[in-house]
Amino acid sequence: MHTSTSLFSRPASSLLAIAVLCSTGGIAAADRSDRPQASQPTKEVGGGVAGIGCSCFGDLDASGIVDAADLAVLLGAWGGVGAADLDANGGVDAADLALLLGAWGFCPVAPANDLCENSIEIGEGVTAFCTINATSNGPVYGVNSPCNEFGYNSIYADVWYTYTAIGDGELTVSTCGTTWDTRLAVYGIPFAGPIGCPGGQFSLVGVIGCNDDAQNCQTGSKVTVPVVAGHQYKIRVGGFIGFEGNGTLDVDFVSAGSSCLDAIQLGSVDGLSVSGTTLDNDTGADQSPCGLSDTVAEWYSFENTCPGDNTKITISTCNEITDFDTVLTVWKQGMNGCTDTLVECNDDATGAACQIGGLQRKSRVSFFASPGAIYYVRVGGYNGQKGDFAINFG
């Protein structure tokens, strides 16, 4: 979704009022499936090996230590050329072996992102990190429960990253799989824009999530926090006191409203228009019964507050904000959950406002709603298309 003002609660969608009340009357709608299968760009996955930082001369596998693994690399390259040619004389030989043995042991260089001020920008995906020879930033960056284990409320030998949220939702950061005792903390501020570092008399940067030992993660760490589109967050990775080493940091974002179980709750929908986007959504397992491969969607829920059994509600993506081929579906909640009863599904609706490039591409549904019933609205994209939209209720 687009915007939100709260850092510490689930983001809400941006709402634009339109003076339309619960109404009666019919609509015309028609489905077509003869359009070309338009392609959409896929999300770039960031990360990579940014932030290893503590490798040094002779550390051929960039592990932060010159050891037997590097010796194996050198011997495997014997007589050839490449990174193992430490003296750059054109071949891997005894001179290079002597240089490697002379550098044996932990690298004396601190990671490039040792200090918060030098944090490295990362995106979603897996990032290799190394905390060997990193400093501990001290009590000024202390964390609280549930990271305060055995009276130790800081993070030892820490390195820092910066993440910018691509949408409203939840961010999960994990070192699960790392073989030593890690600690994680995520810091944020209550507004969009560049983020500073925690600490200081007037700093607004605070801990929004931390973890020492995550469940089913052995001594690795995992934390999930709510994030807001355009806001930056500091990710602090280190260890329990005395622990440092190499590991991988897994960063995963899930958009709010990506499933009916995580639907964005709306209040009264009388005269309401909700602007949103599916650009921050990944491909899901569900899809509508009237679209083709519309596996990327945004979900909303609302309770019908209009009195009477003959209340007709119309929901439409036919407006100038909607910029892709939508598929609109409504379910009624029941004993079997949020998709208990299919109410309406529409791929293409008629009317000039429902067109893109002169073709019917936007959607509209209309149905009689039961008083007090809870409905789930799914905005998908034909053949996996993504984009921005607004849904109007009337």
The strand pair at 355-356 and 337-346 is best described as unpaired
Q: Is the pLDDT of residue 198 over 70?
A: yes
Same domain, 287 and 340: yes
Please give the structure tokens belonging to residue 290.
């009237």
Q: What pLDDT, on a 0 to 100 scale, did the predictor assign at position 252? A: 93
- Say if residue 41 is preceded by a cis peptide, omega within 30 of 0: no
Q: What pLDDT, on a 0 to 100 scale, did the predictor assign at position 146? A: 58
Q: What pLDDT, on a 0 to 100 scale, did the predictor assign at position 144? A: 60
Same domain, 244 and 278: no
Residue 332 near residue 373 (C-beta atoms within 8 A): yes
pTM of the predicted structure, to 2 decimals: 0.68
Domain's final residue, options 197, 232, 255: 255
Q: What is the mean pLDDT of residues 304-326?
A: 89
Residue-by-residue DSSP string for 21-59: -SB-----B-----S-----PPPP---BTTT-----TT-
Q: In the chain, how many domains are there?
A: 3
Q: What pLDDT, on a 0 to 100 scale, did the predictor assign at position 166? A: 87
Position 332 confidence tier, pLDDT thresholds 50, 70, 90? very high
Position 44 confidence tier, pLDDT thresholds 50, 70, 90? very low
Q: What is the mean pLDDT of residues 316-342?
A: 96
Same domain, 135 and 243: yes
CB-based burial, 286-297: b 16+ in 10 Å, e otherwise: ebbebbbebbbb
Please give the structure tokens belonging to residue 33.
């499936």
What range defines the domain where residue 227 resides?
Answer: 116-255
Q: Is the pLDDT of residue 302 over 70?
A: yes
Q: What pLDDT, on a 0 to 100 scale, did the predictor assign at position 287? A: 81
Whether residue 57 is contained in a domain is answered as no
- Judged by average pLDDT, the poorest of 75-79, 86-90, 105-109, 294-298 is 105-109
Same domain, 307 and 228: no
CB-based burial, 88-124: b 16+ in 10 Å, e otherwise: eeebbbeebbeebeebeebbebbbbbbbbeebbebbb
Q: Is the pLDDT of residue 101 over 70?
A: yes
Same domain, 335 and 309: yes
Position 167 confidence tier, pLDDT thresholds 50, 70, 90? confident
- Judged by average pLDDT, the poorest of 24-38, 86-100, 219-233, 298-312 is 24-38
pLDDT in tens, 376-390: 999 999 999 999 999
Q: Is the pLDDT of residue 266 over 50?
A: yes
Residue 75 CA to chain centroid, in angstroms? 42
Same domain, 286 and 333: yes
Which residues 6+ apart lie within 8 Å of 201 measured at CB? none
Q: What pLDDT, on a 0 to 100 scale, did the predictor assign at position 394? A: 87
* 163: CATH: 2.60.120.380
Q: What pLDDT, on a 0 to 100 scale, did the predictor assign at position 241? A: 86
Position 238 confidence tier, pLDDT thresholds 50, 70, 90? very high
Q: What is the residue-averaged pLDDT of the chain?
A: 82
Same domain, 262 and 251: no
State percent of the chain over pLDDT 90.
52
Whether residue 319 is contained in a domain is answered as yes
